Amino acid sequence: MVRGTGLSVSAIEVVDVSKAFAVPHERRTTLKEHFLHPWRREAADVQRALDHVSLTIEEGEFFGIMGPNGSGKSTLLKIVAGIYAPDSGAVRVNGLLSPFIELGVGFNPELSGRDNVRINATLLGLGKRELDERYDAIVEFAELHRYIDRKLKNYSSGMQMRLAFAIAIQVDFDVLLLDEVFAVGDAEFQQKCIATFAEFREAGKTIVLVSHDPTAVRSLCDRVLVLSNGVVAAVGAVEDVLAEPEPADV
């Protein structure tokens, strides 16, 4: 990827990243199986999730990642977020990153909404004072005043998603990663999200959106990358990549 004047800094650089998962047919995780077949390797398929993927996302870009199920979108996002380690290749993220991965940021169902906000905001890097200041804004954005002292297990999936999203955007991030943010949540909340994205865009923040929905990607993103079986099928401006009739499986 050739960069422009050299003045612009890329927010995310993914260089030649590969990732494979060993998928055992039947996972051998008990001692007995280890004792019975100590030398036998686990019967495993190696599933290549990502195959030499490179991409550069510039600062301030709204970048979309698309592809059918199992094409490696989420794996790529998790590698960028530092949750998975790549088998080979390198990832550079410039600035503070706030991930919103697969509906929720690891909430604990037995704790109240309030406690979960405290835990997850802290894990995302908010200090005590910052959290105190922003706690109300988080609850307000999620529209959960009445339910905040209830246990998370009594929340609907839409409520959990709203809370997770509200926390993720209160972090002082430079890069925001969003995985399937439109999968849950009613139209009204989606409108609110889109309005927030516009604010971030104005503030020059970088946003990476993983989505199935070509309409959302077309309306929000500047550039898009399409993954297919772990390899980059297409990358470029949204108009160019999504102009032709969409493949049926996207």
Partner 1 sequence: MSRVSSVGHRAVGVPWTRRARQNLRILQVIAGAEFKLKYAGSALGYAWSVIKPLSLFTVMYLVFGRLFGLNEISPYYGVSLLIGIVLFGFFSDATSLGMTSLVARQTLLQKLRFPRIVIPVAATVTAGLTFAVNAVVVAGFVAWKQITPQVDWLLIVPLLAELYVFILGIALVLATLLVRLRDIGQVWELALQVLFYASPVIYPVGYLPPFARNLVFVSPFSQVLQDIRALVLYPDLPGNTITAGDALGEYGRLIPIAVALGVFGLGLWLFRRNEQWFAERV
Contacting positions for partner 1 (CB under 8 A): 21, 29-32, 34, 78-79, 81-97, 99, 101-102, 104-108, 110-111, 115, 118-120, 122-125, 127-128, 174-175
Tell me how crowded residue 40 is: count the other CB atoms within 10 A of its CB: 10
Nearer to partner 1, 82 or 204 (CB): 82
Nearer to partner 1, 85 or 195 (CB): 85
CB of 64 to partner 1, least distance (A): 20
Burial 85-99 (b: 16+ CB within 10 A, else e): ebeebebebeeebbb
Nearer to partner 1, 110 or 246 (CB): 110
CB of 53 to partner 1, least distance (A): 14
Q: Closest Cα partner for 69 from 207, 183, 211? A: 211
Kindly report the three-state secondary structure assignment for every residue of 193-247: HHHHHHHHHHCCCEEEEECCCHHHHHHHCCEEEEEECCEEEEEEEHHHHCCCCCC
CB of 62 to partner 1, least distance (A): 18
CB of 32 to partner 1, least distance (A): 8
Asked if 241 contacts 235 with a C-beta cutoff of 8 angstroms, the reply is: yes
Whole-number Å distance between alpha carbons of 107 and 142: 15
Nearer to partner 1, 145 or 153 (CB): 153
Nearer to partner 1, 160 or 211 (CB): 160
CB of 204 to partner 1, least distance (A): 16
As a residue count, the chain comes to 250
CB of 236 to partner 1, least distance (A): 26
| 30 phi, psi to nearest 5 deg | -115, 155
User: What are the beta bridge partners of residue 20?
Assistant: 48
Nearer to partner 1, 180 or 241 (CB): 180
Whole-number Å distance between alpha carbons of 45 and 109: 34
